[in-house]
């Protein structure tokens, strides 16, 4: 069986920079509070004319370029996002149209912050079985347009950002390289600890004037509950990947955790007894970009030379669902 290799990686974020000071003008919050609790200094939010499939397309073109491939080489698209350009169909079809490759299958994955790793696991299986030879995996998110930008929603709104990352995945016969192992988990008992209650298909009608005036349409989070679970699940799933592939944490060149919160990343590093130099972080510049956070971080780490040929990299996620996941990659 072949291994799945990431042969190209790229990212794209919207131009509009929104600092904590900008948020101070919208709601009762402060740069100090946001920085101290989350590590975030700024995030990118979309402007008029930006689209989810457009962000994904820009990231995809960069990943294809690095892989030395053209859109016409793609055999399968996996599109991880909470959202789509429209209520339906899923975002993969809108991206496929932009890439100009009609007929190529497009699968949508909706596992929030773990979406990219769920997608990577699916890509890994399709490569291993020989079903496809060139897969485009996307993690893309526009969160900013769904946030409650009043003081009522401040605990959630200050955290999230927009962006996209893309990976081109191909087979290799080298068993030491590429995706060595993936691990996926979910626990729906905690779905309502981090969610948007509405619009819900269980409401009839699904959308009403009354609904729009409530806060049910905005993302909600029990921050402390989420934090507590995140700091246990991250180390657990990283250890799971290391054990499955027969490595120890000392073999790791880099951990790319989902960029949830810098305090979570620090707590995970502490539990793993890893220095912060082994934990990639860009949350200070982008906030939490949900499914896009891992591929954006991986793309930057490659650009910065932190991931090189042969680097052993662990990707790990935790988020809404709850879902959590990991992958161990030999670059
Ligand atoms: N600005 C200023 N004050 C804020 C605020 C904001 N943006 N958001 C909340 N507060 C206030 C609260 O109203 C509360 O005030 P009170 O004490 O008068 O009631 C106070 O700050 C403390 O709120 P609390 O929610 O207990 O803070 P916290 O220390 O738990 O930090 C989070 C909040 C969200 C930063 C923290 O819980 C967290 O990081 N959770 C994990 C979130 C996460 O990573 N989610 C994504 C997972 S994918």
- d(C-alpha 137, C-alpha 141), whole Å: 13
For 140, other C-beta atoms within 10 Å of its C-beta total 38
Tell me the CA–centroid distance for residue 156 and ligand 1, in Å: 8
Tell me the CA–centroid distance for residue 63 and ligand 1, in Å: 36
Tell me the CA–centroid distance for residue 32 and ligand 1, in Å: 12
Tell me the CA–centroid distance for residue 168 and ligand 1, in Å: 37
Report the pLDDT value the prediction gives residue 312, as an integer from 0 to 100: 98
Which of 164, 122, 127 has the alpha carbon at shortest distance from 143? 164
Nearest CA to ligand 1 atom 30: 224
Residue 304 is given by DSSP the state: T
- For residue 279, the cross-strand partners are 255
Report the pLDDT value the prediction gives residue 237, as an integer from 0 to 100: 98
Whole-number percent of the chain with pLDDT over 90: 100
Q: Is the pLDDT of residue 295 over 90?
A: yes
Report the chain's C-alpha Rg in angstroms: 19
Nearest CA to ligand 1 atom 29: 37
Ligand 1 neighbours by CB, cut-off 6 Å: 29, 33-34, 37-38, 113, 154-155, 158, 221, 223-224, 226-227, 230, 260-261, 264, 288, 319
Q: Which atom of ligand 1 is nearest to the CA of 157?
A: 7
Q: Which of 117, 153, 155 is the best mutation target for the ligand 1 pocket, counting ligand atoms within 8 Å of the beta carbon and taking the most?
A: 155
Q: Which of 26, 37, 143 is the best mutation target for the ligand 1 pocket, counting ligand atoms within 8 Å of the beta carbon and taking the most?
A: 37
Q: Which atom of ligand 1 is nearest to the CA of 258?
A: 48
Tell me the CA–centroid distance for residue 154 and ligand 1, in Å: 8
Q: Which atom of ligand 1 is nearest to the CA of 29?
A: 1
Q: Is the pLDDT of residue 1 over 90?
A: no
Under the banding of pLDDT at 50, 70 and 90, the label for residue 119 is very high
pTM over 0.95: yes
Nearest CA to ligand 1 atom 23: 155
Homologous superfamily assigned to 3-172 = Thiolase/Chalcone synthase (3.40.47.10)
User: Do residues 92 and 125 lie in contact, with contact meaning Cβ atoms separated by under 8 Å?
Assistant: no
Q: Is the pLDDT of residue 186 over 90?
A: yes
User: Do residues 116 and 139 lie in contact, with contact meaning Cβ atoms separated by under 8 Å?
Assistant: yes
Cα 35 from chain centre: 21
In the chain, residues under CATH classification 3.40.47.10 are 3-172, 178-330
- For residue 327, the cross-strand partners are 182, 315
Residue 192's contacts (CB-CB under 8 Å, 6 or more residues apart) are 220
Tell me the CA–centroid distance for residue 34 and ligand 1, in Å: 9
Which of 265, 267, 266, 241 has the alpha carbon at shortest distance from 252? 241
Query: What does the pLDDT average to over 162-185?
Result: 97
User: So which residues are the catalytic ones?
Assistant: 113, 258, 288
Report the pLDDT value the prediction gives residue 194, as an integer from 0 to 100: 98
Under the banding of pLDDT at 50, 70 and 90, the label for residue 104 is very high
Residue 261's contacts (CB-CB under 8 Å, 6 or more residues apart) are 37, 38, 39, 159, 227, 230, 283, 288
- For residue 135, the cross-strand partners are 76, 169
What's the N-to-C CA distance of the chain in angstroms? 18
pLDDT tens sequence across 49-69? 999 999 999 999 999 999 999
User: Do residues 165 and 116 lie in contact, with contact meaning Cβ atoms separated by under 8 Å?
Assistant: yes
Q: Is the pLDDT of residue 144 over 90?
A: yes
223-245 and 262-272 helices, crossing angle to 10°:
40
Six token digits for residue 215: 């806060």
Which of 119, 156, 114, 135 has the alpha carbon at shortest distance from 7? 135
User: Do residues 37 and 155 lie in contact, with contact meaning Cβ atoms separated by under 8 Å?
Assistant: no
pLDDT tens sequence across 71-99? 999 999 999 999 999 999 999 999 999 99
Exposed/middle/buried for residue 53 (C-beta within 10 Å: 0-12, 13-18, 19+): buried
Homologous superfamily assigned to 178-330 = Thiolase/Chalcone synthase (3.40.47.10)
């Amino acid at each position: 069986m072949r291994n799945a290799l990431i042969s190209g990686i790229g990212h794209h974020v919207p131009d509009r920079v929104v600092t904590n000071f900008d948020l101070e003008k919208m709601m009762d919050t402060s740069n100090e509070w946001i920085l101290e609790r989350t590590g975030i200094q700024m995030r990118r939010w979309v402007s008029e004319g930006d689209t989810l499939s457009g962000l994904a397309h820009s990231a995809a073109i960069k990943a294809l370029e690095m892989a030395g491939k053209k859109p016409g080489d793609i055999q399968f698209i996996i599109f991880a996002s909470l959202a789509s350009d429209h209520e339906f169909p899923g975002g993969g079809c809108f991206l496929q149209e932009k890439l100009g490759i009609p007929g190529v299958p497009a699968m949508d994955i909706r596992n929030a912050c773990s979406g990219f790793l769920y997608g990577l696991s699916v890509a890994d299986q399709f490569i291993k079985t020989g079903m496809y030879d060139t897969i485009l995996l996307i993690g893309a998110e526009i969160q900013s347009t769904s946030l409650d930008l009043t003081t009522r929603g401040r605990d959630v709104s200050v955290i999230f950002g927009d962006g996209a990352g893309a990976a081109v995945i191909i087979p290799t016969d080298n068993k030491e390289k590429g995706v060595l192992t993936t691990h996926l988990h979910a626990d729906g008992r905690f779905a309502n600890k981090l969610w948007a209650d509405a619009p819900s298909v269980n409401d009839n009608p699904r959308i009403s004037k009354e609904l729009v005036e409530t806060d049910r349409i905005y993302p909600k989070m029990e921050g402390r509950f989420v934090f507590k679970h995140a700091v246990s699940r991250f180390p657990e799933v990283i250890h799971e990947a290391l054990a499955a592939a027969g490595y120890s944490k000392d073999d790791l060149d880099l951990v790319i955790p989902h960029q949830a919160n810098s305090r979570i990343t620090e707590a995970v590093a502490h539990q793993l007894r890893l220095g912060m130099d082994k934990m990639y972080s860009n949350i200070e510049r982008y906030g939490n970009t949900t499914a896009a956070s891992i591929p954006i971080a991986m793309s930057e780490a490659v650009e910065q030379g932190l991931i090189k040929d042969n680097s052993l990299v662990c990707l790990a996620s935790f988020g809404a669902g709850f879902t959590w996941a990991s992958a161990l990659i030999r670059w």
